[in-house]
Amino acid sequence: MISKEMLTRYIHKAIPDAHITVQDKTGMMEHYQIQIVSELFRGKNRLDRQRAVYDALSEPMKDGRIHALEIKAETPDGT
């Protein structure tokens, strides 16, 4: 299990300008839906954006604190 706050800290550590919305999909603190808005994603395709997020969350993904993750990663202008 990982809290929304800890999840947000991991992302901010890797993507400091990120605006993050987190939703716990099951109430079990292991399946999350996250929306991240950052300039870091400008010019990157969907796969590269998701890789950046997975890299930021590699530790809790590897140790099983995150079981499932739905990612929406976009730039401030919505692209």
What is the reported pTM? Answer: 0.89
**Residue range 34-51: mean pLDDT, rounded:** 97
Q: How confident is the model at residue 29 (pLDDT cuts 50, 70, 90)?
A: confident
Q: Is residue 45 part of a domain?
A: no
Q: Is residue 55 part of a domain?
A: yes
Beta bridge pairs of residue 33: 23, 70
Residues in the chain: 79
How many whole angstroms separate alpha carbon 76 and alpha carbon 5? Answer: 22
Q: Which CATH number do you get for residue 32?
A: 3.30.300.90
Q: How confident is the model at residue 23 (pLDDT cuts 50, 70, 90)?
A: very high
Which of 10-14, 27-31, 50-54 is least confident? 27-31
How many whole angstroms separate alpha carbon 62 and alpha carbon 58? Answer: 6
Q: Based on the structure, what is the number of domains in the chain?
A: 1
Q: Is residue 76 part of a domain?
A: no
**The residue type at 20:** I
CB 12 within 8 A of CB 52: no
How many whole angstroms separate alpha carbon 47 and alpha carbon 22? Answer: 20
Domain residues for 21? 4-39+50-71
Share of the chain above pLDDT 70, in %: 100
Q: Is residue 77 part of a domain?
A: no
